[in-house]
A and B are shown apart, each in its own frame.
Chain A
Amino acid sequence: MASLKDLRNRINSVKATRKITKAMQMVAAAKLRRAQEAAIAARPYAERMDAVLGNLARGVASPEGASKLLVGTGSEDTHLLVMMTAERGLCGGFNSNIAKLVRLDAKRLIKAGKSVKILAVGRKGADNLKRDLGKFITDRVSLAGLKSVGFEQANQVADKVMTGFSDGEFDVCTIYFSKFESVISQKPTALQLIPASLPEVKGAEAEAESIVYDYEPEENEILDYLLRRNISTQIFRGLLENAASEQGARMSAMDSATRNASDMIDNLTLIYNRQRQAQITKELIEIISGAEAL
């Protein structure tokens, strides 16, 4: 049985923990708002890009002359998995959920006889996969010390992907990130980057957009330019979604941690009071029975 002093110490330490988790929750909430705004502000660019790209790609009649980024290299033996995770933990299942999805896909591809390369963006995911898939991690990008993700970081990742692709290091590239659905729900998502997966255009929209454009320079050149830009855009979008998801996950994780700490303090306080009461009673009985004996 723990002594009163032990109990008191425990209550104090849990209280200190609760203060920390509470503070982290509030920091995450503030950061979440900013991350969410950034993700929303970045949407128009990606949407326009998608629309123009969709228009152009449909206009490309012959797949032979088209860019490899659009139609692929013709084989799919080597896969590059770009895993985007956070630099920090303490955010619930955020990092491990993404890593789990990557692990699942990587194992499936390996089983099917393909070779797999993993580009790890952010430290946590790489740590998670180190034990069983560590030898497949070919490259890392660190996001440490950044206040917010900018397009520069996306470009940095995109450059690695593009160089790798033009050097023929892989045939298919997929990015993994966590899609921000709401504060309590983040969905790990895989998105194929190369060959490009184009958005489905709905019937009415397609008709409305069937304006015949003039192209400067040639159509194919523009398409090629856009496909390259599209890679950084998609990566940027993934990074932003990830940033919002991370803060959301951390906020709810810290919220439940704070609640758990409060419950624990209540329990401990109850035990402490009972024990204190028992001790007082015991002392009284000792005094009374001592007096009676005289």
Chain B
Amino acid sequence: MAGTFKFELVSPERILMSVDAQQVIVPGAEGQFTVLQGHAPVISTLLPGVIHVTTEEFKKTIFVRSGFAEVTADQLTILAERAFIVDEVDPRHLDDELEAAQQALDSADTDDARLHVTRAIEQLKALIGEAA
């Protein structure tokens, strides 16, 4: 297996995760991409979706609403405005999040925003389906 790199997930309130990861799959604005050690430097915004983190010890799924990722050869930093680690939260949290997203859809006033929220809702529904 390839070497590890530092993965950090930072929300405005605190650092949610800081680990040495082997592989991270990121839902980039222009398509999903996988980060391994030695990835070319990229700055990308994120679409609502799931991040898959693989480390030596565990595999985790993280849900993000929006944010951006900064990739350098030995580090991946994701600044997410709203994120949670799916395996660590109460399943009910997903429903709450879905409800919040649906409310956001009603108040979204541009096509861009609507597209964004619709995607978030789809992803959340998929996650809830998996959990059930």
Interface residues of A (CB under 8 A from B): 38, 41-42, 44-45, 48-49, 52, 56, 150-151, 154, 211-217, 221-222, 225-226, 229, 232-233, 236
User: In the docked arrangement, what's the CA distance between A210 and B43, Å?
Assistant: 13
Which residues from B are CB-within-8-Å of A38? 13
Which residues from A are CB-within-8-Å of B92? none
* A-B contacts at CB below 8 angstroms, number: 69
Q: A42-B13, A222-B44 are in contact. List 11 more A-B contacts (CB 8 A).
A: A52-B70, A211-B72, A213-B43, A214-B40, A216-B30, A217-B29, A222-B68, A225-B68, A232-B12, A233-B12, A236-B12
Is B87 on the interface with A (CB-CB < 8 A)? no
Is B42 on the interface with A (CB-CB < 8 A)? yes
Which residues from A are CB-within-8-Å of B30? 216-217
Is B54 on the interface with A (CB-CB < 8 A)? no
- Nearest-neighbour CB distance to chain A for B28, whole angstroms, equals 6
User: In the docked arrangement, what's the CA distance between A223 and B77, Å?
Assistant: 17
Which residues from A are CB-within-8-Å of B70? 48, 52, 213
User: In the docked arrangement, what's the CA distance between A225 and B28, Å?
Assistant: 14
Given A49-B79, A216-B28, A216-B42, are A150 and B68 neighbors across the interface (CB < 8 Å)?
no
26 A-B residue pairs with CB within 8 Å: A41-B13, A41-B14, A45-B10, A45-B11, A45-B12, A45-B13, A48-B10, A48-B77, A52-B79, A56-B43, A151-B82, A213-B41, A213-B70, A214-B40, A214-B41, A214-B42, A216-B28, A216-B42, A216-B44, A217-B30, A217-B44, A217-B45, A222-B43, A222-B45, A226-B68, A229-B81
Q: Assess whether B81 is in contact with A151, with CB atoms less than 8 Å apart.
A: yes
Which residues from A are CB-within-8-Å of B14? 41-42
